[in-house]
Amino acid sequence: MKPGALRSLVLISALLPNLSNAADVSENSWYQAGREAVAKARQQLPPPGRAHNVILFIGDGMGVPTVTAARILAGQQQGQPGEEHVLSFERFPWLALAKTYNTNQQVPDSAGTMTAMVTGVKTGAGILSLDETARRGDVTRVAESRIPTLFEQAEARGLATGLVTTTRVTHATPAALYAHSPDRDWESDTDLPKAAHR
């Protein structure tokens, strides 16, 4: 941390007790809501020991702007201004943001981003669970660029896996859990080029 930033934090910390003594501040609903949120968060301790199950929820295409828009709309539909609304999944005890992108274009697609989430390796658009050396539609590099998915790693350890989806199971997001393909559109044998048939 830069020395200037540290001085600013010390100054803010010194001023906070004086601010909290002011009647208009201590009665302010935003301060009260903030205190309640902090108190509630402190009560949510992680369970002791190792996790027995892991559930990974993926909102396909749900970046921060999309979630914000959904939150506002849901709040407005309930007669509120919108911004103060909380979506159901925002009430989960632990949440995380993931920065996923493709290695070959700025606007990502589901195949490459889900590959990053379930393998830890970034790859190109349209590619499922193959590393960044794979090229879309090129079947010659599948064996060398194949990377294990969370499902494969869990199953190798004797754990059970499963997926639930609101789309077809061959769609890019669920397919990245089990498929290793240089083209997300190869969803059936009839979609494969001649070179991909073995």
**Helix, coil or strand: residue 105:** coil
**Helix, coil or strand: residue 144:** helix
Query: Of the listed 110, 129, 145, 181, which one is catalytic?
Result: 110
Euclidean distance between CA atoms 61 and 132, whole angstroms: 21
Reading the block at residue 187, the tokens are 């969803």
Q: Is 110 assigned a catalytic role?
A: yes
Q: Are 118 and 173 in contact (CB under 8 A)?
A: no
Q: What is the DSSP letter of 167?
A: S
Q: Please list the alpha-helical segments (H only) found in the chain.
A: 3-21, 23-26, 29-43, 64-77, 110-119, 142-145, 150-156, 172-175
Query: Which residue is it, tokens 């194949």?
Result: 146
State the catalytic residues: 110
